[in-house]
Structure 1
Amino acid sequence: MITCVSLLLWHRYCIPLDEDSRSFTQAEKKFFSCDTGGVPVIVVFTKFDALYDVEYAQLRSDEGLSWEDAQELAPKRAEESFANGPQLKFLYNVEDIGWPPKCHVCLPNMDKDGADCGPLIERTAETLDDEALKQLFISTQQTNLELCMKYAVEV
């Protein structure tokens, strides 16, 4: 008898932020209320740059900043607002959800040339608890030499 075993080493759960004041869906709430069996979950907030527009508009209207100043400050303001916003409070509140993710990462501008997945790769490496799995993951990151060197020095 042959038994097939599916081995999931880590899971990335993507949540787009292209809707203003996006809240969690019922499916997402249900997912985070389930035991993942020790499989670490990384939440990837995609389309994070959509929040830049919201902050830009507020900086222009509420604070009367120039186009250039608002454009420059919007990304930092979006990060600060998001860090204190309802999504992260919900996501890491064990009372609301039974199994919070191991970590999260916000990825802006992924539709642009030269998009950078570096933060996701680094957070994934940080999240993996099993050393052999971590080494396997890092060794496959040939395009990220810095990450390979960082973990080689640590080990």
Structure 2
Amino acid sequence: MSAENTESFKNLQEKFGRFRILIVGRANAGKTTILRAICNTTENPEIYDGDGNKVDLSQVEGSMGRGIHNVENELVFRSNDKLIFHDSRGFEAGSEKEFLQMKKFIADRAKTTILKKRIHAILYCIPMDKIERAIQRSEEMFFDECDPGNVPVVVLFTKFDALLPKALGKLAPADRQLPLRERLSKAEPLIEEIFDRADIWGRLTPMKYAPRSCIRIKDMHKSSNEGCSKLLDVTTNALNEEALQMLLVSAQEVNIALCVRYAVREWVCVAVYCALTG
């Protein structure tokens, strides 16, 4: 990051604080994998309470496995402390108490006058390993009852790779005898067909608080994966405020192409403005 960009990022931090993301989804939806990919790390996050005090992991480790988690806690990875995450674990269990806590958290953090406490984006993970039950009561409750205000909600269709065995199973008998590379090539359009037939996105968009955009995620466990770059790109484009776009672009350290595209876009905008105004 150049000295000029560093100064610009510091100014944004002074106003908005660090870029803050709430991640939502059922257990085993790939949430932790996604957070690690965004921060380009394999480590576990450090956890802080709402007052900035570090949480003793030995006190929460056992309960975290059972899906009990305080959404107010802040998850920060040492590899990139410019990003703060909140995890809604417990919501997927169908607990009314957990749902109401998350709903209140979203309402409070979306509208608070304390800019550094606001959440800037919500990532909602829907795994594709059980596509027949992708939309459950938890999704209906969230998108019909949780008002995110101006905070964009991006749906992540995680574990998209899980549709490959289904697609391979739909190949014609003759195609099943082909070499693996050719079978995979013929299965690609069938994956799209399976996903389109399930009409998951079409079922989400009519809901009261429909998500703003979506992305299909696969191979998130691999380093330097394309999915993470696309996720950051989609999330940046979903943001309403240019300042928040700049805050996210400056904070993330994975998608170099996104940084370049954003810088080029800014340069083009300045050049056009100068041309029009003489």
- 1:71 pairs with one of 162, 184, 191: 184
1 or 2 for the larger relative contact order (CA 8 Å, sep ≥6)? 1
How much does 1:47 deviate? 0.4
Cα contact 2:126–2:134 (8 A) shared by 1: no
Q: Helix, strand or coil: the match of 1:125?
A: helix
Alignment of 1:115-126 (within 5 A): 115-116=225-226, 117-126=228-237
1:91 aligns with 2:215: no
TM-score by length of 1: 0.84
1:22 aligns with 2:133: yes
1:53 aligns with 2:165: yes
How much does 1:112 deviate? 3.5
**How many residues are paired up?**
148
Amino acid at match of 1:44: L
- Gap runs ≥5 in structure 2: 1-111, 267-278
- 2:124 pairs with one of 4, 10, 13: 13
Amino acid at match of 2:241: D
**Higher helix content, 1 or 2:** 2
TM-score by length of 2: 0.49
Structure label with greater radius of gyration: 2
Distance 1:43 1:152 in 2: 26
| CA RMSD across the alignment | 2.1
Cα contact 2:164–2:187 (8 A) shared by 1: yes
Cα contact 1:20–1:54 (8 A) shared by 2: no
Q: Helix, strand or coil: the match of 2:151?
A: coil
The share of aligned pairs that are identical, in percent, is: 32
Distance 2:223 2:249 in 1: 24
- Gap runs ≥5 in structure 1: none
1:154 aligns with 2:265: yes
Q: Helix, strand or coil: the match of 1:104?
A: strand
Q: Helix, strand or coil: the match of 1:33?
A: helix
Partner residue in 2 for 1:130: 241
